[in-house]
Structure 1
Amino acid sequence: MKVTVVDHIGIAVQSIDESLKIWEAALGIACTGVEEVEEQKVKTAFLPVGDTEIELLEGTAPDSPVTKFIEKKGEGIHHIALRVENLEETLAELKTKGIRLIDETPRYGAGGARIAFVHPKATGGILLEISER
């Protein structure tokens, strides 16, 4: 397994439009686009910062994982994503090492990435996304 970079930090927000007022207007970090990922019931906005990005996440349905996260914990950091060279090999290696996975096979995420999540119980309470672009 080769982790190449922190791909992004996902932040759960009630409203991307309201959050962009802070990130773009106050902090000067430009959004490169907003995208809805219907399969995950989420709308995303990416804000590049060097080699990584801030990903704002807004739930699009009451049963969206992001909506549920905000109801339980409030707005804030939702996950950290690490980019790898080969997602299938990484998942197989993690599984061999006994790491609990949410996704044993890749799924599609925002920006054309292939992604999979590692269960927070395996990482000390952090939802970890593994990403391949």
Structure 2
Amino acid sequence: MTEENGKLGTSTITQIGLLVHDIEATSQAYAEFFGMENPEWFWTDTVDKALTEYKGELSQARAKLAFFDMGSLQLELIEPDHHPSTWREHLDAHGEGVHHIALIIEGMKEKIKVMEGQGMKLVQKGEYTGGRYAYMDTFQQLKVMLELLENDAQ
């Protein structure tokens, strides 16, 4: 791995995730502000499909998601349910606002090991249709959480 590719093999931020209390109102506000179509929100998959793990334990946690394509990156709005998750914990502790920045990577298990070797612990992981995600606690080093996204080969 060359220095220019860093620890994850990429330096391209693909997404910014915001936690919100009311996805409908916030989504409408973004749509109006940017003159864009208001995307439909949807629920994340149930634990039997998503295999959501929070702090090493299976979690029933789900969230409403809405995505805005903002040129070179995507804005993700997240309204979590009441079950334990990084989303719920962060929203309760810090209120609405930025939760993470995301990068698309290849080799999820290896990248998690590299990051954990740097003191960046895995907080939550799960599956989505077409791939998987992992939230890494990078607050001490990077002052924001990183989300790793790995999409299945098309």
Shorter-chain TM-score tier: 0.7 to 0.9
Cα distance in 1, alignment partners of residues 10 and 39 from structure 2: 24
1:3 equivalent to 2:10? Answer yes
* Residue identity matched to 1:102: L
* Residue identity matched to 1:61: H
Identity %: 22
Q: Give me the TM-score of the superposition, normalised by structure 2.
A: 0.70
Q: Give me the TM-score of the superposition, normalised by structure 1.
A: 0.79
Larger radius of gyration: 2
Number of matched pairs:
130
Aligned mate of 1:107, from 113, 122, 126: 126
Preserved contact between residue 10 and residue 78 of structure 1 (Cα < 8 Å): yes
SS at the partner of 1:5? coil
Give 1:66 shift: 2.4
Preserved contact between residue 112 and residue 122 of structure 2 (Cα < 8 Å): no
Cα distance change, pair 9–76 in 1 and its aligned pair in 2 (3 A): same
Deviations 1:26-46 (A, max 9, x none): 212334442212344211111
Long gaps (5+) in structure 2 = 1-7, 48-60
| Residue number in structure 1 paired with 2:136 | 118
Long gaps (5+) in structure 1 = none
Preserved contact between residue 8 and residue 52 of structure 1 (Cα < 8 Å): yes
Cα distance in 1, alignment partners of residues 137 and 13 from structure 2: 18
Structure 1's consecutive aligned runs of 4 or more residues displaced over 6 angstroms after TM superposition are none
